[in-house]
Structure 1
């Protein structure tokens, strides 16, 4: 004889596909939000700022344009992140010796200490997970998300704004 839990499972009505996908999106976004909260609680700065700080620490002397390319964001987004890191004393900027217009960024001792406290992955949960997926999965996901973005009539410029940023 089946238990009531088994009977409920056997007779359970599957959710419609749109509801199932919506639940999956909620799971993804809530995982990302939870990771961002963990970073902010532990380090005191946003997840995007920690990612930028990790790039500066890994690439001493990096410029804002290079940082934007490494993070795949618009230069203004990178500039805003750098400004916040400078204000927090986590990075310093130095003028270039040959080209005084060039700015070179370096993590401070305080910035390195903050990075050591930050929960991994420093690049963020979603970018890290996407990098671990195989090419075929990424291509299929890209095609399917492109269709969804068209349905949403979403602004393509929003692709350059980090999830969780204030822009």
Structure 2
């Protein structure tokens, strides 16, 4: 199978997983009765890391969709003109931004996982309560979103390695970087 098709499929899966995770976090809310007459609604805006994660996931998904569009347009141009061009500048751009996006998504998900662990277990020394006892569905949905995002991180690492391959094949001899 062609590496361009594999990369396109993986980018589509990454975008789909990131958008799913962002929607799960963004539209998740739960109202719980805290005291006899006091109720509290948990939303993604209650924790700053969830707020940031939603926008980073959307930005990373948008980047992957834009890359898909660029690759599709270049593929159609090559078919129409039947030419073999060297797009080193595009390969460098894709490689560097893919690295940034992969690390950015990983860092944001790791910070969110730490915050979710504190919400699950609490922190006695800082007087933070266990929030997942009161907001069980909210915490379960955030956990599902984090699983989607971590799968997207793993797929983004594969996409990043494929973009590294497409970059470094421009600088190697014909027989060195050939996939069979």
Q: Same fold, TM exceeding 0.5?
A: no
Structure showing the higher helix proportion among its residues: 2
Taking structure 1 as the reference length, the TM-score comes to 0.29
Taking structure 2 as the reference length, the TM-score comes to 0.28
